[in-house]
Amino acid sequence: MTGDTFEKACAEADARKGRASKTWRDGLITAADLQTKQFKPVRIILPSLIPEGITILAGKPKIGKSWLLLDICLAIAGDRFVLGEIKGGQGDVLYLALEDNERRLKKRVDKILQSAAAPEGLEMHTEWRRVDQGGLDDLEAWCKEHPKRRLISIDTLAKIRPIIGRSEQAYAADYRAIEGLQKLAGQYQVAIVINHHLRKASSEDDAFDDVSGTLGLTGAADTIIIMKRQAGMVKLFVRGRDIEEGEFAAEFNKDTCRWRIVGKADEVFRSEQRQAIATALKEAGRPMSVAEIMAATERHDRHATQVLLLRMERAGEVKHTGRGMWEADHPLNASDFGDSVTNGSQATENNTKSNTDESHTKVTEQKTSDFAVTFEKTNNPLKGNGNLSESHKVTEVTGPERRDDPGPIPECLRRAPTNGGAPWPPALGPKGDDVFDIDPSWRQRTLTTAPSSSVGRQ
């Protein structure tokens, strides 16, 4: 046995002995003692978004995660504003661009900074060892050499996480991937932001379930930021242990390649989404299901769509017609049809004519006409197997009101009595072509059964 091997064996034996000597009493503390302890406050690197600890920034490929992460690094290291009007704490930053080369990295830095000088506090690297192969030790050494450390950015997790063992469970592997980084971040009060991807299948319940991997990954992280496209912009979902949960709307400037937070998602997207839904319902002119509304407005979140429809219903913008069907509160728009149409059975058209000549008076004409079609409610909506003859109220456009009585016979179907004066029922077709002309025996039966008020034939 060589000297190095012997020393290594002794060190391992001492470590095992030290672990064996520890008991459950080691590190035990009472609540009263804990109350007397003083801790440093949590350091917020970027307000409302990134505190100290592990932050996972997840989004679909090519959504702009790397641009956002690089811009944040330049802002923290150079004391600049980022995401519009947000300014974080200044300090030293390490950016591991493990999917880029120096040429691409230089191009991106120049694009973001334009003509400004690059900050001295930002250090970059395009290669790094995995955390279980010495990469964690290298990160700790960097933290020790930089007392003003604030941020470590890793792009991406797949380049630095340990290789998963054959018999290792996925949950344990995901947790182990950032467990060491989390301890390092807490020890040196530094934020470690890790770029990651979303899974292909999107979750309708919780956006944070879309992070690729198991719950071991999101469970070990301190903060999670999700980037999802919505209504021409990107929606940022933020959730963490040390910051308030929030949703923000952000847009990307293609000229400067920088992101900007427009505002809170509810305030930004509400008017655009509501307008899109209202327009789709008005253009359809009929009740639509949630699936049809989603298809017409290019939405993919069913739960959020239903919640928005309920809010619009409370605001009087849409109506729920039952069985998951929705319609606009005012299906017919005056700007579309040229008439002012209400939700009842009347529409009013105001035509105002004025003349400045003193010899003429101001004339106002008001026309009121039945235009819209309404359907009365019945105790049994399925009565008549869907036949609307019993509840169909027709206005001036389609004819007189109808219930059970079809109304008088049109003049075109009336026929005068025959030479004998015998009453005949209305003709069912042209003269000489209906059943009364073909079968003369009907005449005798009609004479004995037809009421005196019946209309005769020609």
- What CATH number is given to the structural domain containing 306? 1.10.10.10
Domain termination site, one of 191, 221, 253: 253
Parallel, antiparallel or unpaired: strands 53-59 and 223-230 = parallel
Residue 160 sits in the same domain as residue 195 = yes
Tell me if the bond preceding 156 is cis, omega within 30° of 0. Answer: yes
Structural domain includes residue 260: no
Residue 178 sits in the same domain as residue 246 = yes
CA 77 to chain centre: 34
What pLDDT sits at residue 343?
Answer: 37
Please name the residue that has the structure tokens 């253009």: 283
Residue 81 sits in the same domain as residue 182 = yes
Residue 184 sits in the same domain as residue 157 = yes
Structural domain includes residue 34: no
Structural domain includes residue 402: no
Residue 196 sits in the same domain as residue 322 = no
- What CATH number is given to the structural domain containing 56? 3.40.50.300
> In a 3-state reduction of DSSP, which class is residue 19?
helix
Are the C-beta atoms of residues 251 and 262 closer than 8 Å to each other? yes
Residue 441 sits in the same domain as residue 306 = no
Structural domain includes residue 39: no
What pLDDT sits at residue 64?
Answer: 94
What pLDDT sits at residue 1?
Answer: 52
Residue 101 sits in the same domain as residue 224 = yes
Structural domain includes residue 361: no
Residue-wise pLDDT tens digits, 229-262: 887 789 999 999 999 999 999 999 999 999 999 9
Beta strands in 254-331 (DSSP E): 258-264, 288-289, 318-322, 325-328
Q: Which residues of 400-416 are buried (b: 16+ CB within 10 A; e: fewer)?
A: eebeeeeeeeeeeeebe
Structural domain includes residue 317: yes
Are the C-beta atoms of residues 74 and 123 closer than 8 Å to each other? no
Residue 90 sits in the same domain as residue 159 = yes
Provide the residue range defining the domain that includes 302: 269-331
| Sequential pLDDT tens for the chain (458 residues) | 555 555 556 666 666 655 556 788 888 999 999 999 998 899 999 999 999 999 999 999 999 999 999 999 999 999 899 999 999 989 999 999 999 999 999 999 999 999 899 999 999 999 999 999 999 999 999 999 999 999 999 999 999 999 988 888 999 999 999 999 999 999 999 999 999 999 887 776 788 888 998 888 988 999 999 999 887 789 999 999 999 999 999 999 999 999 999 998 887 877 777 888 888 888 888 899 999 999 988 888 888 888 888 888 888 888 888 778 998 876 444 333 333 333 333 333 344 333 444 444 433 344 333 334 444 444 444 444 444 344 344 343 444 444 445 556 555 555 555 555 555 555 555 555 555 555 566 555 555 555 544 444 44
Q: Provide the phi-psi class of 229: left if phi over 0, else alpha when psi is between -120 and 50, else beta.
A: beta
Residue 93 sits in the same domain as residue 202 = yes
What pLDDT sits at residue 454?
Answer: 44
Query: What is the pTM assigned to this prediction?
Result: 0.60
Find the helix or strand (DSSP H, E) in which 81 lies: none
Question: How far is 452 from 105, CA to CA, in rounded Å?
Answer: 100
Domain termination site, one of 219, 253, 287: 253
Number of domains, the chain: 3
Q: Which residues of 261-298 are buried (b: 16+ CB within 10 A; e: fewer)?
A: bbeebeebbeeebbebbbebbbeeeebbebebbbebbe
Residue 221 sits in the same domain as residue 79 = yes
Structural domain includes residue 392: no
What pLDDT sits at residue 420?
Answer: 53
Domain termination site, one of 331, 356, 371: 331
Residue 286 sits in the same domain as residue 248 = no
Residue 240 sits in the same domain as residue 173 = yes
Structural domain includes residue 357: no
